[in-house]
Every structure is written in structure tokens, then in C-alpha cells.
Structure 1
Amino acid sequence: MSLELHAPDAFPAFPYSPPYGTQIDLMRHLYESIEQKKVTIVESPTGTGKTLTLLCASLTWLADEHNRARKGKMVALGARPDDEEDWVAKQAREQLVRELDDQEQRYRERLAAARRREEELKRKLNARVVKRPRTTISQSASQTEENEDEFLPEDDVQDPEDNLSPAVKALMAKLARGSRGEEEEELTCTKIYYASRTHSQLTQLVPELQRLKFDVKVTDFEPSPPHKLGKRPALALEADSTPPQFTRTVALGSRKQLCINDSLRARSTDLDEACRTLLEEKGDKRCQFLPSLDEEDKMLEFRDAILAAPKDIEDLAKAGRMHEVCPYFGSRRAIKQAELVTLPYNLLLQPSAREALGIDLTDQIVIVDEAHNLISTLLSLLTHRLSLGILSLSFTQVCIYVTKFRNRLSHANMLQLKRLVTFLDALKKAVTAWKETAKTNKEKTQILTVIDLLALLGPKAAAINLLEVVKYLKSSKVARKIANYSDKQAEKNAIADRKGSNDVHKARRSNRGAIPPLHRVEEFLTSLTAINEDGRVCLTLVGEDEVEVKYQLLNPAPGFMDVVESARSVVLAGGTMSPITDVISQLFSGIPRERISTFSCGHIIPSSNLLGMVVTKGPSGQDLHFKADRQNNKAIIIDLGQTIANIVNIAPSGFIVFFPSYQFLNTAKEIWKGSGHLERFGKKKPVFFEPTESTSVDSVMAEYAASVRAGKGALLFAVIGAKLSEGLNFADDLARCVAVVGLPFPNLGSPELQERMKYVKRLDEKMNGTKRPGQKDAAAELFENMCMNAVNQSIGRAIRHKDDWAALILLDKRYAGGAIRGKLPGWIAKEVTVASTFGQAVQGLGAFFRARREK
């Protein structure tokens, strides 16, 4: 019997009937990709129901996979649906069906009970005033009993249970967990890990999930009539007694989103470090929201409450306060039993984060939404900075620590700490020497390979096995131990200097929870263990005396290959993933091509709702060509102002103009003030400019929207890649016309970009050979793709749903070239026309807007 799954023709769980054809095609593609264990790249424009289709297709496969697993167990027993002769096999099959159904029914009832308990808790909390739990005030340094064991590395602290056998320890752990019975054994299942860039994007997932119509699934192996020996039939669930079916979902987040210890939040500069420090405390000093081992039932009840009904990150934090249990650790306990796990990029992409959370991606489904950000995120997550000041402080702290505890540290600890001291000393001397040379030569930046940097440190430091040192730092947690010891010594010194108790208290509060300097060193050293060609070290002189040492990752692929190789299937989805070839070349060049599939949705709007136009000439007849060396030309900018003024005259409602940079926009603004163009714009529509400060964005957007809704229209000047070009929806009248001025190529003067372009060129030549004369090389392709990725994000802001409409105008003659136009999203590229004269452009725009008004 074949257990292979085939994509269904219909998806009953989809909440809207009938789905659009492109939605059915996308769901079938996703289902097949998951079943065939593929990596797929999906482009689905905003308004096409991307999130809903991703969830519906993947959860439909998950439900079918659950049934397939049941079938597999039947097949293992030798059972077949038409098996009418072998009554022994029938009995074995029926018994297994009953056991599986009983298990699922008990589990559903347990989650239903958790929902009822939570509802009762809500009613009680609403009926009374909730008092904040009292927090324990820590003793002053003078009152605290001296106990230097707390500063020793993890493996140097004597454990009172070390003389117990493993069997006795296991028995004690079992007794500590309580007596919840066999049904409380951790059940694991195939799951979907759904990642996006921000928590706000993930929060939008829960309402979409709740729209899906999943019913209780019944195995295809129906039990035959009961045998005459009187065995009871497999469990039949009555419709009116069946608890409601929910997808077991858990949202993962950082302590910043989930910590409910308000006292700790108020006094900590770094919440992660403060929480880790508190975890090491005992008795009344422990966090009151983290149940101890003898209160395990409380944590398990909270785990069930999390899984009982889908919760976003804010709901999870509220539930933690209601149950008075830490939602950060509670969500981690729910991962094993969850079917859908939502998490931000950093928790999925960093191996250390996955390990800390207990995430095992083996044979699981990974969906990365908003994946147009994935490459830049991978590069930034594995790029680490270390200042000379932090390096010097770390070196001093480690030296003091080794001197103090040398007689109490084991040989293994002393060996690794001595290696660390040697390496830090050599690195500090090399960076200090470079600083003096840079000041003399007036060269502020130097790029080195990892091998070049190690050569500067001398043979003794270069010979140190950094992998062993990094492994030691992680396992021993010595960075935090050294930082805590240094803080304690600082407090003692403050008291010895007879400072007021207030000053000592303030010093302790500011230090508590601060990131240990050695953690920065640890991150940097971890970077240096990567393959030499995959990254570069950049030394930069900052001011007169500070130096920043930065490890810049050049190759995003290795950081994602762990995910791809472990997972059953990986889905990269975004509204605009074009050019898709760029994603494949940067992330998946080492994967067999047959394992990669792509899907690009057409938009659900009719073609008459979109006008895409390249405008190559301005009103004066001169070319619209905004290369960097032309962006200060007064005559060119005045012609651009006249171009925009003509479009403002005919564009209804909201009109957004994107510039390549703040510098170009500010230059144009000043010239237009003198030429009178700003005043002309304002006579037609109120004019707004994207603020450089993030705190002002909301107020500017509110004023812009109010002007549009009041019928005045509005003209908004924004910058590609800044605050308004991504993440904000300009639906309906907020953006009836969007123009992009020029091409936002990245800064070629950046040493980091130059190194990355050299890297991709070398890699491409190694794999495919040298390009022929006149043929674009990989570096030029990368440079162009980075530009078009930014353009695509900006112009995708205008169309947000099936009835929306807008004109998208590209103001630069370079957009008329086939290579550039080919990198626009497919649904836009096929609608783009090229206006050879400005008169032709105005005529086409006027006809489009008139047609929309008539409708």
C-alpha cells in the first residue's frame, strides 16, 4: 500500500469559498513541495492572501501526515482495509485504533480543561484587584555573606549530589516531577516552524490561523464491526461532546517581550543577563515566576494553557501574568507538543538560540515569511563588532580573575584561561599598534582576512585553537562569572572609598544585568572560527583613540545550510522575492537543482487596476537619468521638480515619491525651495517629508492619512530602504500613485560592499569559470540585484487588496532596459510600458486616472 501523499484539488480548511485560482495553485505547490522534501521560493504579492495560503497548505499537509502516520502503524501490523479473512489482524488493528483514538481524545480533553481553567482565572481576575507580587530586596554588599564559589566556572563548583549514582539522580528527578501519570509523558510531533522578521508580523498570524476551518480528523482505517468476543469498538466521538479543535500553537519570543518580573525589568540594563544571573540564585532570591522542581505541575498546567488555544506574543505575556508563571520558559516547555511554532528570524537562524530553546529541525517544516530580508538578516546576525575599549577591559578582568582564583581553578580551566589571556593580549597589542599607524598614515579603515589578522598576532597566539577556547567559554559560563566578580570588587572598592550607600546601590543597579564584556569577545572569537574566505575583518579608526574591530560575513549560505539540511522542507515566501535567481545563487548554490522549486503568483487585481510606466524624459525633453554624479545638478533637479509638478496635477488622492537617499532628497528640497516648485506642489496637495527620526514617523503618517481622507490629497516624499518603504500599508487612496526617482544602488565606496562583491565574483569564477568580455559578472549582478530588491519593496506598498488600484511610475531611463525591467516582480513587469516622451507619459497617466474615476 502506497503512503505517498498527493496534493488535493480542494482545500476545505480555506475560509473563503471559492479561493482564487492563484491561491489554489499556490497551496497545491506548497503541499507538493513539503511532501517531496523540497526547498521552494514563493512570491505572493500583498493582497493575495499569502499568510492564509501558507498556513492552510502546510497545516493541511500536517493533518494528512498525522493520518499517514496512523496508517503506517496499521501497515506495520499487516492490516489492509479489505482484510476480511484474518480476524487476528483485524483485532490487532481495532485495538490499535482504539488506543490511538483514546490517546487523542484524552489529550483534547486535557487541553479543553486547560481552556476552562483559564476562562475561570480570567473571571476571577476581572472580579478583583490584582496586587503585584512582592519582590525581595537584595542585601547590600556589606551584608552579603562572602561566597566565592559562585564565581568559579561551572565545572569547578562542587555539587553535593556528585556522589550519587546516575540511577539515583534519575529517580530523584522523576519524583520531583510529581505523579502526573503516563499520559503526561512528553509527546512529540511533526511541526511547522513559521518565522518572520518581527513580532508585529507574527502577531498577524493568529487571526489568520483562527479563520481556518480544520475539523477533527478521523483515520482512513475504520474499524470493522466488533468481534463476537465482545471487545468494545474504537472510540466514536459524539459531535456535541467533542472539544473544539485548535492547532496547537506556541509563540516564541525574547525575554524583552515575555519577562513578567517588573522589578527585574526596571533595574536591568540587559534583561537576558539579569535573568540568567537570577536563575543561579536560590531560595527567596529566585525569580518568583519560575516554578521550582517541586512545583513542576504548575509549569505543566501553564504549558497546557499555552497549547489549548492559539496565542500571540502579547496574549502569552498576559497569560503568564494571569497564571503567575514565566511565559518565556513556559513557551519553551510547549515546543515539543506544538504543531505550529512561531518565532522571529534570530531564534530560527542562530544555532545557539535553537540549542538553548531545544529546537530540533530534523524532518520539520520551516516557513520563512518576509524572506526578502533573509540574506541581509543572515549577514547581520553573524557580523560582530568589538571595540578596543571592550577588548582592553576584558583582558584586564580576565587577568585579575586568573590571579585571584589560580589556586582554586582546575588544570583544564587554567589551561583555557591562559590561552584566552595570551590571545587577548596579542590582539590588544596588534590593534593598538594598528591605531598608531592609522593615525600617522591617516587611513581610517583596513580590511583583512582572518588569516592576515592572526598573522599580526604572532605565532604563539595564532597557534591557539579558538574552537576549543570558544567551546570552553560557552560551557563554563566563565564570562558571566568574571563579570560578576568584577562587579563585586567594584562595590567593595566603592565602600572602601566611603561612598554613600546610595552611590553603591546605584552602581550595583547599573551593573546588574549588563552584558559581560567577555561576551563581546566570545562572539568575535566565534566569528574567527569560520572559513577564512567567508568573512573579512575590518579595522576602523573611530575618533582619536577608539578602534572598532568588526568581523563582516560575506557568505550568507553556511548560516542557513544547517536549517536546509536538517529540515524536511523549507519555504521562503515574500510579497516580492524578485529577482529569485539572486536568492538561489546566494543561498542555495550548493543544493541539487532538482530539490529547488519556485512559484510566482500573479496578482488578484484585474490588469486594468494597475498602470506601470517607465518615464525616460522630462518636460524639457532631456533624459531622466539620476546617476550619483548628476544628483547635485541644479538644472536636472529643477526638471525633476517640473516632472513631479505635472504628475501632481493629475494624480488623485495620495501620491508618494521615493528617492534613492536622504542626501538626494534634501538636495532636491533645497533647490525646489528656491525655484518655487515646493510652493507649486503645496497649492495642489499638502506636502510631507519622511522624517529622519523614527519617533516622528507615526505623527507624519497620521497627518498624511488625515489629509488624504479629508479629500485634500497629499504628496509624500520618502526614501527607499528607510522607514516608509517597508512594513507600512499604503492601501486605497493613501497611494493612488507611486513614483521612484532613479535607481538606489548601494554605496560602492563602502569597503564592506567592495569585499562582498569581490567574494561573489571569486566564488562564481571558481564554480562557473571566467565570464566572457562584455558579459556581466557575479559582482555586477549582486550590485544590481541589491538595488532592485529595494525598488521592489517600495513599489509593492501601493496594491494591498483585490479592489485596489494605482499607477507605478519609474522616473529614470535606465528602467527601460530589459535587464532592469526583468528584475521587477512578474505581476508588475508584464504591465510596464515605456513612454518615449513626457507628453506620452502624461497622456497615459491621464487616461488611466480618468478610467478609474469613471468606474
Structure 2
Amino acid sequence: MTDQLDVLLSLETPDAFPQFPYTPYSIQRDLMRHLYTAIESSKLAIIESPTGTGKTLSLLCGALQWLGDDHDRAKRGKLDALGSQNDSSTEPAWVIEQTVARARRELEVREEELEERLERARQREIAMRMKDNARVTKRRKLDHQAADNDSDEDDFLPEDEGSGQSETVKAYQKWKNASAEDEEDPVCTKIFFASRTHTQLSQLKGELLKTPGGKTTRIVPLASRKNLCINDDLRRSGVDIDEGCRSMLSGDKGKRCPHLPPSDEVSQMLDFRDHILASPKDIEELVTLGQELKTCPYFASRRAIPAAQIVSLPYNLLLQKSAREATGIDVKGHVVIIDEAHNLIDTLLSIHSMTLSLQTVRDSLEQLRAYHDRFKGRLAGRHLVQLRRLTNVVAAVEKFCIEQGKAMIKPNAGEQSKMWAVQDVEAALGRAAEGINLLEVNAYLRSSKLARKAASYVEKQKRKQEGDRTEPGSVKSLKLVSPPLHAIEGFLTTLSSASADGRIFVNAAPSKHAGQDPFVVLKYQLLNPSPPFREIVENARSVILAGGTMSPIFVFEQQLLPFLPTSDLLSFSCGHVIPPENLNAVVLSKGPGGHSLTFNFEKRSDENLMKELGMILFNLANVVPDGLVVFVPSYSFLTSVKKCWRRALFTEPNDGSSVEEVLRSYATTISSGGSKGALLLAVVGAKLSEGLNFSDGLARAVVLVGLPYANLRSAELQERLRFVRESASSGKGAGGRDAGMELYENMCMRAVNQSVGRAIRHRNDWAALVFVDSRYATPRVKDKLPGWIGKQLETTDTYGKAAGSLARFYARKKAELAGPTV
């Protein structure tokens, strides 16, 4: 009967989506239909929709439509199942009807109670905003009465291995248990919406508020402690926020964070939870609300997850299993949408890789030995044995680093790199550590919380030696950096990964001081992004990968989803919403002087080539109104391009710290009027090419100079290409080409496509795209540009023809803006 109900209650993909606030374009409606079908049929979908086509809003509306339909279905299913169970009952019909009616009412009452609570929270928010002093908070004072004596050292003793839970999980569990009988929210199917940055997630809130029911949709934004901490003393102290928070989770009143209510005073946390669920908020608003309520936003947001309809979160909280467990995220049976998924593979490889320096190893060893000397008389036998084993393992890592570094360094040579298979490093360390089981030692390090306890003890001793009289419960008494043993733990964890999925690189450079050991860094590089992603796919009801530049889709199938049957995969790609006359895309194969334009690495310093580029940009500056954005392959190339321009020149800073300031100055120059406009030089793959919008006058032309191929001499890149080549069934990619070189080219073109996607942000926007390199005219490169660009791309044999096409485009747009003449 259950199977029959499942069939009867299956949802048919709708033609209309009332959640969409406007009349959708056909491509937007098609996107929502494909999304709905994928979720309902429990499939993984790869969706490509160019930037400026309303992708995020379409994703939201399609998912919300399914979520609402699924909620109604679930309610009907429960009632129908109850009725069918009673069909064979001997009870009278009126009894059965009453039973079903009572069950229906119970479901409705729970939802009504939740909505009433949230409505009260909404009214409180309105009242808070009306008060002039609503944002003025009075900090609680820390109570420092703990005596600094030997009894405090109990805090430094390792925890029993059976506990296994972090302070975060235990603290959260206390509040959850304390409030379970008080108020149990209905747990509903939810959408986990992940994106790369908090800025992009903040934009999600704006899109949600455009929808008819957006103001009351229950959305919970998740973020790290660093983003959500409201403890001003902790933030100002320079303490590592994560470690400082964990240290203040437990203990007596003098050591606890003042914004963390005790487990027997859950009303504050529940009140904050209701405020979060009452109306959409971004991270900044959560922080402000936490300050007003004097309650921790980090833990309150997690308390709100069960009743949430949408949970927004950055990549790292979703993609790392350890982060999901620490945050209380369980995707089983829920919908996962990953926006900006064009860089998903690189993100997975990055966040599951790690580095460990020789100096960190030595710091760890120093802490372990100091800890052993102080506590060896107080430790239980099993702790003492494990501590000595751990010390031997860390000493073995130190020896391995020194020996490898000395063997690799060559006279008058710079940094050297050597690749190791994971199992070879594991074997070498096992021999050096006298056959100790590395996985067993790492399990103890993790369960005992020894990394933080040893670091805290050593920090306390240093303060004593320096005569620091800071109270032990104060923020200033916390250690200032993340414990070095955390890095050891991460490194040992990588050794437990499937050895074929990653490699370890030993990088060594000579010391600046004679007679000292070389500077050595061990780096674990994940090569296979599939295993960490597989668990998400297999647990979630449906996974949606969306982005503006997802092609070629076979790359995701081959590298990320080799385990997924093709029958479980849907793909959708659409064109742009702009009319053809709003885009002019041209390839410049030759410069004004007639020289062929090929900006490969060997020719980038060619004087004639740089003169040609200077003339091209000078000519474009004369014809392009407002903003001209030029993307170049690297920062070194950007430096060589800087010349004296007719218009204001802005360049992307290489440290990324002042990007926003440069962008504001660039925009201000354009908006101030005048005919000169401004020119912005940026780097492909840097911040300005990822996620920042150059709509309307900010970019009336985007210029791509050269092709941004990665450094093929990199040992890490070479190993990744070799891994992909060996993993491909025949070693070949699309069209029978070498799979490694296919990946190499795709990496380049995805970066190009992200850069050109910064312009043309809506239907009425317009711009020219200028590709300055003859290789863009070749079919292999041209075919990897977005379809909406490729079908309009002009390739000419002379500079004059291309320049004429651009001149006519801007003349036509100038006439359109001027309006009809009388």
C-alpha cells in the first residue's frame, strides 16, 4: 500500500511557478521545470544559466515551489496512510473519520503554534527597530574569581577517549536536550543552499524577498565563529576566535562566554531562534540581533536549523564532513543546491588539502615534551602510553622533514619539490616511529582534545615566566594562535585517506642563515574530488549544481561523479536573455601594426607585442564609453602592461585587501561624468573576476588578453594531470584527446568564461567582448566559450575589420541612447 501511495502522490512538474515574482522568460521557466523534475525524481542536475539571466531567483523559486508541494503531499500522505491502515479495521466508519480528522488537526496545530511564535518574534523586531537605542547593547562583565592554583590544571588533563564529542557538540546538545520537552519544532524537508562567499549568500536573501512568500520563509544563514562572534573582548584580543570560543564554552561562570546562556536557561536561546526563523536575515543582521539580545548568534543559528525551510551556508561548511558534523548539518533526505558550482572541483581539492611546516612540527614537539614533563605523574597509564607514542610520531615527522630537506637542497638553487605517494610517507614514518600505528595515535589525539590542552598549558607557563598577572578566566589569558598539534592531527588524518586519491609534496628551500636546517613544508594534495562529495550525493534527496559557466559538463561526470549512473543525472543549459544586438564579441588576431597576437608565456615580454597591445587599448579607450575592464593572465603581466592612459587607470591589488576600495574609486570616476571614463586592469582568477558584477556603465567592454593557462611546470599540476589521465578509462578525454591536456585547457577556459561573465548582468545591459589573442579564433578554443557568445563571435583577418565592427556597435548604442532626432 505504501508503494501505491508513493505513486499516487508523486508530483507532476508544473508549467507555472507562482513564487516567481515576474513573468518569467522561457529559459527561466525551463530552468525551474528542470530543477523541479530533478528534485522530485531524486536526481542530480547540472544547470548552466549565464550570469544576468536571473539564475539565483529561478533556483529559489523552483525549489520553493517543490518544497511547498512536498509539504502538502507529506500531510496528505500521512493522513491517507492512516486511513488505509484503518480500512481493514472493524471500527465504525465514523470512528475512522474522527481519527483521521484528529490527526489532521494535530498537524495543523503544530504548524499554527510555530507560526504564532514566529509572528510574536516579528512584532518584537518591529518594536526593537522603533526604539532609538535598539542597537545599543550593554556588555556583561566577566566574573574573574577563579583562583590561579594547581587545581586549575585539571582543565589541562586529557579527556577520556570514550567522550568523543567536541565542546561545541556537547554544549549544543545540552541546550537541545534542555529544550526538547519545552518546544519541539516540526522538522521539515529543507533546502541547503551553498555558495562560495558570504557576499553571494547575502544576495540570496535579497532574491528571496522578491518572492511573494519571501518575508515569512524560514531561512537560517550559517557561518563560522569568526563571522558570528559578538564577544567584543575576544575579537579585540587577537586570540584565534575558534580556539577562544571553545575554551570559553565550559567551566565556571568566570570562564564562560557571557553571551552563552547556561543549559538550564534556554529561553534566551529559544527567543533568538524564533527571531532567526521569523524573517530572512543575513550574517550582519544576525550579529546585530545577537548584540541586542545578548545571546550568541553562532549557537542560536544552529538551534534554528530543524524548523528551517532554507539553510544558506558557505562551501566549506557543506563540503567538509568534519564541518557538517560540528555544525549539526545532516543532508539526508534534503535538497542540496550548490550555486557558483563552476569551481566546485577545485574547491573540493583545496579544502581537503593541507600543509605542515617543519617549524609547526617543532612547536608541537616542544609542547608535547613540556606537557609530558609536567603531567607524567598525574596521567593514567593509558594516557601516558598514548602521549609517548604521539611524541615519537611527531619526532619521526621532524626527522623525515629534516632528512628530506637536506637531501633535496642543491647549491645555488632555490626551492625544490619532491612528490611522494601517501603510503610511502606512512611507511617511512611508521618505521621511524618504531612501528606505531599512526591511525590509532591520531584517534587518541582527536578524542583526548590534547592539541588544545597542551597548547593552553604551555601558554599559561609562558605567561607565568613573563610575569603576566592576567586573570585565568579572562579573554587575555587564552592562547593567541591555533594549536600546532591541530596541524599534526590534520596531517595524520590525510594518511588515512585512500592512498591513490592524493599525493604528498615535500617542498624545501635553503635557510637564510648558514648552518641551520632548511625550510621544509609538507603538503598533502587531494587529486580525486569524488570521494568527499559522494557522501553528500548519496545521502541527499537531490543535488543541484548550478553556475553560469558549467560547460563542458562531461568534466563533472568524469572527475566528480564517476560513481553516478547516467540515468540519475540530468543536465540543462540555456542561452542569455539579452537580445543579440546588445552584444558585440570579436577576436583580435592581429594588432594595428599587423603583428600576429599570441600572448603565450614565451612571448609576453616581446616589445613589439606589448606595443601592439598598447595601441589596441588606446584605441578602445577612445571608442568605449564609461568603463573598460581588461583582464590579463597574471599579476606580473599586469605590471608590464601599466602605461600612461588617456583615462583614469585602476589596477587590481595583488594582495586582495584593497579590492573594494579600488572598485569604489573606479565606479566613482565613471559615475562622476565626463567623456574620458576609466580603465580597470584586473587578473583572471583573482577577486575581480570571481563574483563581482560590472553591470551597465562599469563595463561597456571587457577585454581578455591572452589565455590564462596555469604553470605547467608546477609539480602539483603535473601530478593532477597525470592522475586524471590515468583515471580516464582510456586515458582520453572528449574527441579522443589526452585527458590530462583536456583538463588543462578546460581549467583555462573556465577562468576565461568567468571573467567575461562579469559584464552583461541583465536583459537591458550591453557590452562588447574583445578577445586579444589569435588562439581564440581556433575551433578548439572557440567551442569552449559559452554558446551565447560563441554563436556571435566575429573572427577577422585584419585589425581594421574588427575595429570597424566595434566602432559601429558603439555608434549604434550612442544613437539609441540619444533617442530619435527631430
TM-score (norm: length of structure 2): 0.90
* Equivalent-residue separation in structure 2 for 1:33 and 1:786 (angstroms): 27
Match of 1:692 among 631, 654, 661: 654
Q: Structure 1 residues 462, 453: closer, same or farther in 2, change over 3 A?
A: farther
The match for 2:767 is 806
The match for 1:819 is 780
The match for 1:737 is 701
Question: How far apart are 1:474 and its partner, in Å?
Answer: 2.0
Question: How far apart are 1:854 and its partner, in Å?
Answer: 2.4
Question: How far apart are 1:174 and its partner, in Å?
Answer: 11
* Equivalent-residue separation in structure 1 for 2:537 and 2:21 (angstroms): 31
The match for 2:498 is 531
Classify the secondary structure of the residue corresponding to 2:160: helix
- Between the two proteins, what is the percent identity of the paired residues? 48
The match for 1:214 is 213
Question: How far apart are 1:588 and its partner, in Å?
Answer: 1.0
* Equivalent-residue separation in structure 2 for 1:372 and 1:772 (angstroms): 19
Amino acid corresponding to residue 814 of structure 1 in structure 2 = R
Q: Is the 8 A contact 1:197 1:370 kept in 2?
A: yes
The match for 2:664 is 702
CA deviation digits over 1:454-513, x for unaligned, max 9?
343352638443333332222221111111121222233334xxxx758x9999938624
The match for 1:562 is 535
CA deviation digits over 1:789-829, x for unaligned, max 9?
11011111110111001111111111112221111112212
The match for 1:3 is 9
Say what the alpha-carbon RMSD is for the aligned residues.
Answer: 3.0
Q: Is the 8 A contact 1:491 1:508 kept in 2?
A: no
Match of 1:638 among 600, 608, 611: 611
Q: Structure 1 residues 501, 296: closer, same or farther in 2, change over 3 A?
A: closer
Match of 2:276 among 303, 306, 310: 306
CA deviation digits over 1:212-248, x for unaligned, max 9?
1139xxxxxxxxxxxxxxxxxxxxxxxxxxxxx7221
The match for 2:457 is 485
* Equivalent-residue separation in structure 2 for 1:29 and 1:193 (angstroms): 18
Amino acid corresponding to residue 71 of structure 1 in structure 2 = R
The match for 1:429 is 399
The match for 2:514 is none
CA deviation digits over 1:110-162, x for unaligned, max 9?
211222234344445737964332233576xx84454322111111899xxxx
1:25 is aligned to 2:21: no
1:89-108 equivalences under 5 Å are 89-108=96-115
Q: Is the 8 A contact 1:191 1:364 kept in 2?
A: yes
* Equivalent-residue separation in structure 2 for 1:128 and 1:199 (angstroms): 23
Match of 2:804 among 843, 846, 854: 843
* Equivalent-residue separation in structure 2 for 1:830 and 1:275 (angstroms): 54
The match for 1:781 is 742
Question: How far apart are 1:610 and its partner, in Å?
Answer: 0.8
Q: Structure 1 residues 826, 179: closer, same or farther in 2, change over 3 A?
A: closer
CA deviation digits over 1:316-368, x for unaligned, max 9?
11111111111111111111111111111111111111111111111111111
Q: Is the 8 A contact 1:379 1:555 kept in 2?
A: yes
The match for 2:166 is none
Q: 108-117 vs 434-443, which deviates more? A: 434-443
The match for 2:484 is 517
1:209-288 equivalences under 5 Å are 209-214=208-213, 246-288=216-258
* Equivalent-residue separation in structure 2 for 1:616 and 1:755 (angstroms): 33
* Equivalent-residue separation in structure 1 for 2:508 and 2:273 (angstroms): 50
Classify the secondary structure of the residue corresponding to 2:562: coil
Q: Structure 1 residues 138, 812: closer, same or farther in 2, change over 3 A?
A: farther
1:396 is aligned to 2:366: yes
Classify the secondary structure of the residue corresponding to 1:348: helix
Q: Structure 1 residues 850, 326: closer, same or farther in 2, change over 3 A?
A: same
Q: Structure 1 residues 653, 174: closer, same or farther in 2, change over 3 A?
A: closer
Amino acid corresponding to residue 105 of structure 2 in structure 1 = R
CA deviation digits over 1:637-690, x for unaligned, max 9?
212222333333322322222111122232233xxx5xxxx3xx41xx333333
* Equivalent-residue separation in structure 1 for 2:578 and 2:94 (angstroms): 59
Q: Is the 8 A contact 1:349 1:560 kept in 2?
A: yes
The match for 2:305 is 335
The match for 1:242 is none
1:611 is aligned to 2:581: no
* Equivalent-residue separation in structure 1 for 2:746 and 2:80 (angstroms): 51
Amino acid corresponding to residue 51 of structure 2 in structure 1 = T
The match for 1:150 is 155
Q: Structure 1 residues 205, 525: closer, same or farther in 2, change over 3 A?
A: same
* Equivalent-residue separation in structure 2 for 1:289 and 1:156 (angstroms): 30
Question: How far apart are 1:517 and its partner, in Å?
Answer: 1.0
Amino acid corresponding to residue 188 of structure 1 in structure 2 = V
Question: How far apart are 1:553 and its partner, in Å?
Answer: 1.4
* Equivalent-residue separation in structure 2 for 1:271 and 1:10 (angstroms): 47
Question: How far apart are 1:573 and its partner, in Å?
Answer: 1.2
Question: How far apart are 1:382 and its partner, in Å?
Answer: 1.2
Q: Structure 1 residues 700, 302: closer, same or farther in 2, change over 3 A?
A: closer
Amino acid corresponding to residue 262 of structure 2 in structure 1 = S
Classify the secondary structure of the residue corresponding to 2:254: helix
The match for 1:12 is 18
1:41-60 equivalences under 5 Å are 41-60=46-65
Q: Structure 1 residues 350, 178: closer, same or farther in 2, change over 3 A?
A: closer
Question: How far apart are 1:632 and its partner, in Å?
Answer: 1.2
Classify the secondary structure of the residue corresponding to 1:193: strand
The match for 2:515 is none
CA deviation digits over 1:372-402, x for unaligned, max 9?
2222221111111111111012122223323
Classify the secondary structure of the residue corresponding to 1:631: coil
Q: Is the 8 A contact 1:454 1:462 kept in 2?
A: no
The match for 1:322 is 292
1:69 is aligned to 2:69: no
Q: Structure 1 residues 708, 152: closer, same or farther in 2, change over 3 A?
A: same
Q: 529-538 vs 25-34, which deviates more? A: 529-538
1:191 is aligned to 2:190: yes
* Equivalent-residue separation in structure 1 for 2:374 and 2:77 (angstroms): 62
Q: Is the 8 A contact 2:44 2:544 kept in 1?
A: yes
Match of 2:443 among 443, 453, 471: 471
1:172-183 equivalences under 5 Å are 177=178, 181=182
Match of 1:651 among 611, 615, 624: 624
The match for 2:755 is 794
1:40 is aligned to 2:45: yes
Q: Is the 8 A contact 2:144 2:473 kept in 1?
A: no
Q: Is the 8 A contact 1:156 1:409 kept in 2?
A: no
Amino acid corresponding to residue 252 of structure 2 in structure 1 = K
Q: Mind listing any 5+ residue stretches in structure 1 that lack a counterpart?
A: 159-168, 216-244
Q: Structure 1 residues 593, 298: closer, same or farther in 2, change over 3 A?
A: same
1:339-350 equivalences under 5 Å are 339-350=309-320
The match for 1:746 is 710
* Equivalent-residue separation in structure 1 for 2:491 and 2:180 (angstroms): 46
Question: How far apart are 1:633 and its partner, in Å?
Answer: 1.0
Q: Structure 1 residues 38, 506: closer, same or farther in 2, change over 3 A?
A: closer
Match of 1:373 among 304, 323, 343: 343
Q: Mind listing any 5+ residue stretches in structure 2 that lack a counterpart?
A: 164-169, 512-517, 817-822
* Equivalent-residue separation in structure 2 for 1:100 and 1:827 (angstroms): 49
1:199-210 equivalences under 5 Å are 199-210=198-209
Q: Structure 1 residues 129, 52: closer, same or farther in 2, change over 3 A?
A: closer
The match for 1:111 is 118
Amino acid corresponding to residue 197 of structure 2 in structure 1 = T
Amino acid corresponding to residue 154 of structure 2 in structure 1 = D
Q: Structure 1 residues 510, 788: closer, same or farther in 2, change over 3 A?
A: farther
* Equivalent-residue separation in structure 2 for 1:306 and 1:339 (angstroms): 12
1:461 is aligned to 2:411: no
* Equivalent-residue separation in structure 2 for 1:337 and 1:179 (angstroms): 13
CA deviation digits over 1:405-440, x for unaligned, max 9?
334333433343233222111111111112222235
Q: Is the 8 A contact 1:491 1:507 kept in 2?
A: no
Q: 92-101 vs 1-10, which deviates more? A: 92-101
